[in-house]
Amino acid sequence: MHRKNILIVTSGLETSSALRRVLSSMDVSVSFSTSAAYREVITTKKFDLVITDIGRDIVAEISKMENYLSEDEPVSLLVITEVELLASLRLPTRITADFVIRQASDEEYTTRVRHLLWPSEEATSSDLVRVGALTVNLATYQVYISGEPLDLTYLEYALLAFMVTHPGRTYSRDALLRRVWGFEYYGGSRTVDVHVRRVRAKLGPEYAQRLETVRGVGYLWNA
């Protein structure tokens, strides 16, 4: 590994302190900026990774950062977000990106950062699940069909990734809520139906038919 440069975009002292602790054991140089000033900071120094403490307007903020960070030499992005914002989360497709929940452990923060900074040392072929022209990258949370990225929300991605990695088995809606959503969802199990319809629409007819409905039970991925 060689020394990397990280820019942390945040206005929160708690976030700054936590990241200093996590990054102290890595061979990195760390700079800080606010969301209003990070563009100017980037012009003065080359960064390998930007870590952003994302606000409530998650879609607009990530889109804005993707547009800027994809110019010239792309810069990787790590998004710190809240559990309740996951339904709106869409990771960029033009740059390498990942996310972490604010309340995650230091170990998880460390793993996410290392994967983005030194991917050749962290990622393996086991991170890629292929079904024909469909590729699910379990390391970067991205899905491609014939090399073209699909625009999936995090929960759409998580649902598809779970089904693809558990083929040939039927899961009830309640089971999918527990395994994919990972917390008690109070909106009702029919939210699974909504996400399945969205995933199918984005997959297109060839792969949508693999996500089968088992009447009266739930859903099955037919590999």
Domain containing 111 — which CATH number?
A: 3.40.50.2300
Contacts of 122 (CB under 8 A, 6+ apart): 111, 114, 115, 139
Kindly state the average pLDDT of the residues 159-175.
94
Helices (H), the chain: 13-23, 38-44, 58-69, 106-117, 119-122, 154-164, 173-176, 191-203, 205-208
Q: Is 117 in the same domain as 16?
A: yes
Let me know whether 167 and 100 are in one domain: no
Tell me the per-residue pLDDT of 13-51, one tens digit each, with 9 for 90 and over.
Answer: 777 888 888 888 777 889 998 888 888 888 888 899 999
**Lowest model confidence (mean pLDDT) among 95-104, 117-126, 158-167:** 117-126
Query: Mean pLDDT over all residues of the chain?
Result: 86
For the stretch 21-31, pLDDT in tens is 888 877 788 99
On whether both 12 and 89 belong to a single domain, the answer is yes
Residue where one domain finishes, among candidates 122, 144, 162: 122
**Residue 2 — pLDDT band, cuts 50, 70, 90?**
low
Q: Do 130 and 110 belong together in one domain?
A: no
- Of 58, 89, 122, the last residue of a domain is 122
Tokens 């975009």 locate to 9
Range of the domain at 102: 4-122
Between 24 and 210, whose confidence is greater?
210
- pLDDT, tens digit (0-9, with 9 covering 90-100), for 68-109: 888 877 889 999 988 888 888 888 888 999 999 888 888 889
- Same domain for 97 and 46, yes or no, is yes
pLDDT of residue 1: 41
Write the single-letter amino acid at 121: E
102/38 same-domain check: yes
Q: What is the pLDDT of residue 188?
A: 66
| pLDDT in the model for residue 205 | 92
197 & 169 share domain? yes
Cα→Cα distances 101→45, 77, 109, 121, 141, Å: 28, 14, 9, 23, 14
Q: Are residues 35 and 72 in the same domain?
A: yes
Say whether both 151 and 182 belong to one domain.
yes
